[in-house]
Amino acid sequence: MNVPRKTLKDVAEACHYTVNTVSRALRDDPRLPEETRAKIRETAIGLGYIRNSLASTLRSGKSGNVAVIVNDIHNLHFCNMLSIMDAELRRAGYNMMVLCMQLDEKLGEQLIHSAISQSVEGILYFPYHNNPGHIEYMENNHVPFVLLDRWIEGKTTDCARCDDVQGGYLAGSHLAQLGHQRYLFLSGVNQSSSQIDRLEGFRRAMRDHDIPENGIRVVPGETVEAALEEGRLGDLLFPLDYTAIVSFRDEVSYPVMLALNEKHVSVPRDVSIVSFDHLRGEIPYLPRLTSIYADGDNVAVHGVRLLLNRIADPSLPPQVTVLPVKLYDEGTTAAPQ
């Protein structure tokens, strides 16, 4: 049997106050005596009253909710960031809604529409592909938003990301300085700005260290992701015509290390690896891996700050935060044998 949901009127009748007084007490209005607020809260809890967020939003115009639209919640990099963003938003008095594209770019606009229909006060958006249409959709609906991790070509808008060009350069320079001449570059998805920037920085480092183009084997991101999903990363790693790997993300690098180990290829004795995301910064029990990520507060913290600024003052000029990165050397690189 369905039990009718308790209302403000039910609480008011139970504690002998007006509906208006009950509403103010449950909003913790300081103009009411603490004794009155405490009595009403206790009564509401006893009745099992649950606040009607939709009605409250309609009255105040504020939902207290922020949507985070992410492309892959299986990726530990995003899980770490979601945890940080949730803590930051709660400190600022907001609740976080998580919507996931599941690596399906077509879902992006649908999820933006869903977030806006829930009257969210802002959106933290992780672009999957270089899709300006999604940005225009948020702009046309006048919802505050911040891009995280990546930029969108032709769009100057609020964004918090790492300096991926610098990251690619650091990876290449570190390995070149160790003496490596032959490389395998395991790319990310080609329509990702992070992939574009990291490869650009890496190639710049190769040129600065006089490494010829024929010393670099670049594997497209779509090929890498398909091999990872199908459990055949080993097909991409052999023949062993290189001494160093630069991998787009840690979640590819760890299976790569396992695949090499199965073939009795030692890291870093036989092959050096540099990766990106530094997952061990948040998950210290993971195996050691030399990886590149932000130096200090990460993208999640800065993204929330930018969104709070935008909510507070919609007239601000575009805010772009590009964080410097560092190489966390954890022992998976060495001079070639």
Residue 284, helix vs strand vs coil = coil
Name the CATH superfamily housing domain 65-162+297-324.
Answer: Response regulator (3.40.50.2300)
d(C-alpha 225, C-alpha 123), whole Å: 28
Q: Confidence class of residue 62 from pLDDT cuts 50, 70 and 90?
A: low
Instruction: With a cut of 90, say whether residue 171 has pLDDT above it.
Output: yes
φ, ψ of residue 97 to 5 degrees: the values are -105, 135
d(C-alpha 219, C-alpha 313), whole Å: 44
- Tell me: the pLDDT tens digits for 73-119? 888 899 999 999 999 999 999 999 999 988 777 788 889 888 888 88
Q: Confidence class of residue 57 from pLDDT cuts 50, 70 and 90?
A: very low
Where helices occur in the chain by DSSP H, the ranges are 8-15, 19-26, 34-47, 53-60, 76-91, 107-117, 132-140, 164-178, 193-208, 221-229, 234-237, 250-262, 299-312
d(C-alpha 16, C-alpha 115), whole Å: 38
The model's pTM is 0.82
Domain with CATH 3.40.50.2300 in the chain: 65-162+297-324, 164-295
The CATH number given to 164-295 is: 3.40.50.2300
